[in-house]
Amino acid sequence: MGRAPCCDKENVKRGPWSPEEDAKLREYIEKNGTGGNWIALPQKAGLKRCGKSCRLRWLNYLRPNIKHGEFTEEEDRIICTLFASIGSRWSIIAAQLPGRTDNDIKNYWNTKLKKKLMFRAPQSQRKPSPFPSSLQTPPLPSHSLSSLFKDLASSYCYYSPSKSFTRFETISPVQSNILSNNTGLTSSSSLLLSQESLVSPVQCYRQMKDNFLSFGSEASCSSNSDGSCSQISYGREIKQEDMGLQSYISNGYEENQKFMISYGNNGVETLNQWEGEKANGYFEETPLDDELEAVKQLISSSSGIANNACNNFLTEENKTEAQKVMYSYY
């Protein structure tokens, strides 16, 4: 037996919303809220629309503080980075872009950003990284976890040059052991993460003081859309939206274990160098041009990185390559 339809399709209006309908919906919600029941809302609001349609209209268009129009370069970067990390999970990506809706971002990706990436100049035509080798991604074993962290590190480090970092948490002995045993990283390695670039896509970070985050340390938490941290959870209790990292945490670690902290020789040094260079907007990976070709192929194929990321989060070799290319996009 199939599910009953959410509304009587014969008697609901479809297609574009008129200004009158918008006004009715806005007025009703501003006065009464959604009441937690979108199905009943259209009738109460005097609209001949499906509840789902009302919800979409409100969330994507009428809701206060919705941002329309051009995406900024910073937003482009966020979208690219997160897409490379988590795939087409637009709602999560949207949560990192205040005022943008998942629909907006999805449309923007499909119509513009994807093409922009596809037609990106090959590396040979881009400016070289000015960073000392110590600041570039250190060599790591070709272990999948290492690749995961390496990629996440390069993306997050790269990608928030405007953020002011003021504090650094060094790795604990416990963390050191875990890193050594599981990722091949040494205790002196550290990972810098900025608040704006890392948050709900993985939702297993711990917010430290002063805009600093460590990744999935003893307490993980889920984030709100404003990036704040409200719900503390541990290891296996992380909810489904944590997806890839959740399964990674569950399978690869004991509960409450700490992991993932920083990169480079030591945190302070890395931080200082970072502070000194961040304004330049560098910090790019240096992929080969054939890697760019790889990501182009992934994008153009129907089973591209989005599907890979969703179906087999952060384990596909080709996605790792795709990430590198995307990170160096700017």
Partner DNA sequence: AAGGACGACAACCGCTTCAAG
Partner DNA sequence: CCTTGAAGCGGTTGTCGTCCT
Q: Helix crossing, 289-300 with 317-327: angle to 10°?
A: 110
Strand order in the sheet with 212-215: 212-215, 205-208, 220-223, 229-233
Rounded Cα distance between 115 and 142, Å, is: 31
Instruction: Give the residue, chosen from 29, 67, 74, 103, that forms a contact with DNA under the rule CB under 7 A.
Output: 103
Stretch that binds DNA, among 56-64, 175-183, 276-284, 289-297 (CB under 7 A): 56-64
- Does the protein bind DNA through residue 6 (CB under 7 A)? yes
Query: Bridge-partner residues for 220, per DSSP?
Result: 233
Smallest separation (angstroms) from DNA to the CB of 194 = 22
User: Under a CB-based contact definition with an 8 Å cutoff, are residues 240 and 196 in contact?
Assistant: no
- In whole angstroms, how far apart are CA 43 and each of 40, 50, 180, 262? 6, 9, 60, 54
Tell me how far, at minimum, the Cβ of 109 lies from DNA, in Å: 8
For the CB of residue 53, give the shortest distance to DNA in the complex, in Å. Answer: 3
Residue 33 engages DNA in binding (rule: CB under 7 A): no
Stretch that binds DNA, among 15-23, 125-133, 141-149, 247-255 (CB under 7 A): 15-23
d(C-alpha 188, C-alpha 16), whole Å: 57
- For the bound state, the minimum distance from the C-beta of residue 204 to DNA, rounded and expressed in Å, comes to 15
Of 77 and 89, CB closest to DNA: 89
Map the footprint of DNA across residues 222-251, applying CB under 7 A: 239-241
Binding mask 60-89 for DNA (x = CB under 7 A): xx------xx------------------xx
**Minimum separation from the CB atom of position 111 to DNA (A):** 3
CA atoms of 144 and 249, how far apart (whole Å) = 13
Per rule CB under 7 A, is residue 31 in the interface with DNA? no
User: Chain centroid to CA 171: how far?
Assistant: 24
Nearer Cβ to DNA, position 198 or 260?
198
Point out which span in 34-42, 256-264, 274-282, 322-330 binds DNA (CB under 7 A). Answer: 34-42
Question: Per CB under 7 A, which region of 100-108, 142-150, 163-171, 268-276 contacts DNA?
Answer: 100-108
3-state secondary structure of 207: strand
Helices (H), 9-129: 19-32, 41-45, 51-57, 73-86, 90-95, 102-108, 114-118
In the bound state with DNA, the residue whose beta carbon lies nearer, of 4 and 121, is 4
**Interface with DNA (CB under 7 A), residue from 78, 295, 306, 325:** 306
Angle at 82 between CA 80 and CA 85, to 5 degrees: 110
* 184/292 Cα distance (integer angstroms): 27
Residue in 47, 80, 82, 92 binding DNA, rule: CB under 7 A: 92
Q: How far is the CB of 223 from DNA (least distance, A)?
A: 12
**Range 161-220, binding DNA (CB under 7 A):** none
In the bound state with DNA, the residue whose beta carbon lies nearer, of 36 and 128, is 36
DSSP letter at 216 equals: S
Selection from 220, 245, 223, 246 nearest residue 234 by Cα:
220
169: nearest Cα among 197, 187, 192: 192
* Site size toward DNA, by CB under 7 A: 46
Interface positions with DNA (CB under 7 A): 3-4, 6, 9, 13-17, 34, 36-39, 49-53, 55-57, 60-61, 68-69, 88-92, 102-104, 106-108, 110-112, 239-241, 306-307, 310
